[in-house]
Amino acid sequence: MSHGFELRLSNYLKLPALLLCLLAGSSTSTAAVLQLTQASIPQLSAAMDAGTLSSEQLVQAYLDRVAAYDQQGPTLNTMMLLNPNALTRAQELDEERRVSGPRSPMHGIPVVIKDNLDTADMPTTAGSFMLAGSIPPDDAYVVKKLRDAGAIILGKLNLSEFASGGAMNSLGGVIANPHHLGRTPSGSSGGTGAAIAAGFASMGLGTDTGGSVRGPSSANGIVGLKTTHGLISRDGVVPLALSFDTVGPMTRSVTDLAIALGVMTGVDPADDSTQKSIENSYTDYSQFLDGDSLKGARIGVARVFMNDNNEVDWLVESALQAMRDAGAEVVDVEFPDWLLESRGKFYRAIRYPEFKAQIADYLVTLNDEYPKDLDGLIAEAMTLNATREDGVIPNPSRWSLMRKEVEATGLDGYEYQAVKTYALPLVAQTIDGLMQDQKLDAIVYPTASSPAELIERPTGTSEPGSGGSPVILANLSGFPDLILPIGFTGRGMPVTLSMLGTAFSEPTLIGLAFALEQRLQAIRLPVHTPQLPGDTLRGD
């Protein structure tokens, strides 16, 4: 963790704990009471429309939670950098709302983004000391879409270094899980998962190449979406493997996820994959929030990913029963053995060569002071073998993986070409065919077959795409996967259900997840980040 963060945060600590003054308004007010950590984006927007809440007050309330819990108290360490202009921007948007009304449902809503998405006004480091202070030439496309919608970037979030490996990096250090400080928030979007669970913003952005939105959503007990490949532009995202890379929202409710998703879609000339979304995307996904969506639905259950943990299995079975009670038909399905056995090999055959080539494409857009290819990153990493005075730490686990990446073949290699040309379409067609043959609306399974691991777990026990997790099926196929909290273990660790659909079936998944969410109501504020006095707001 950089000592500079403490100096930046101290400026916010001097600010008053706002929002308490809201309760001291007119004694005759009949405005509803909202809790910051429970209020949905539509509820917050309605309160701002009614004049009982301002974006400035909302930003300050979130900053107060960051101050209390991120670098103090449980010291979750989710934030790489707070936006020094967040309050000023909130004031500007409050005035704009007063004069001309809101730009979108996200107007004045604070969001946090993973620090591998470019921001022209703040550094983008991918969590590496080797990119410390790097200011990219412009905003990532999705960041610009959020700003244009009136969202406020509250800060950049900690992550796995270069979006791979454990929930730590050389520049920001180790991230903690707000439900259990000794357990991992999972990677690579671990900072986003922990921050949203802890109530530091209304929505967070993660990226997903091999489960990096879904693992942290599950470990921290929030809603997350691995979007269909091509639904959201990756322009301005530090690449890991563009054949798999996606950007996805992470929120505390399906409603907030639907609201956020709608303002981020769009065809981007700088990202050819978004051409696939033409006539397949929406600017308003809230229209699919139907509490009766499970009635008549046909849900497939992939039980091959169960039987590792009794508590997880119990909660999955309870969720399946809730689906049946809501009118869904639940049937068991099986993936072909060849797919289960080959999925990890297919993943790595694409992931390693693409990072080797594509990280170089990104690095050449940066200033001359930064490495220009993977060999340059490895050379610089080898100069750091102990913690520095500024808090930078070694990250040998991630850097060791770079050895495998740099040894990968080029993008003209026969194995890479064969997997990309034939295997990936085969996986997509197989899953799509299975769902069509069985007339399924979604295939479900536990996102993680066991609760979040201990941070100090034995090293060297797994590697990306090892095949132990079901989540890479969505990356290999390019299909969407929506994560929904379904309950907690006896020791208070969250468990989630994955809902896998076919290409651009986000509307169906949002409807199913919303209907199940209303029955289960399984999101809870983590024990280490309880409500603060200033979290009580006045609604409309």
Task: Catalogue the active-site residues.
Answer: 114, 188, 212
- CA 86, chain centre distance (Å): 21
**65 sits in which H/E element:** helix 55-69
Q: What six digits make up the tokens of 508?
A: 């169906």
Amino acid 204 reads G
Place of tokens 């690449």: 239
User: Kind of pairing, strands 298-301 and 442-446?
Assistant: parallel
Residues 6+ apart with CB under 8 A from 497: 316, 319, 444, 445, 446, 447, 483, 484, 486, 516
Rg of the chain, C-alpha, whole Å: 22
* Beta-sheet strands, E only, within 268-413: 298-301, 329-332
- Residue 355: closest CA among 208, 216, 244, 475: 244
Place of tokens 């949905």: 40
Distance, CA of 311 to CA of 370 (rounded, Å) = 47
**499 sits in which H/E element:** strand 494-500
Helix (H, G, I), strand (E, B) or coil at 154: strand
Angle, CA of 528, 534 and 538, to the nearest 5°: 125
Sign of CA dihedral 241, 242, 243, 245: positive
User: Kind of pairing, strands 168-169 and 79-82?
Assistant: unpaired
Cα–Cα distances in Å, from 66 out to 9, 71, 371, 373?
A: 9, 7, 33, 35
Cα–Cα distances in Å, from 384 out to 171, 334, 366, 404?
A: 12, 47, 22, 20
**DSSP bridge partners of 331:** 300
Distance, CA of 437 to CA of 142 (rounded, Å) = 36
Three-state secondary structure of 218-277: HHHCCEEEECCCCCCCCCCECCCCCCCCEEEEEECCHHHHHHHHHHHCCCCCCCHHHHHH
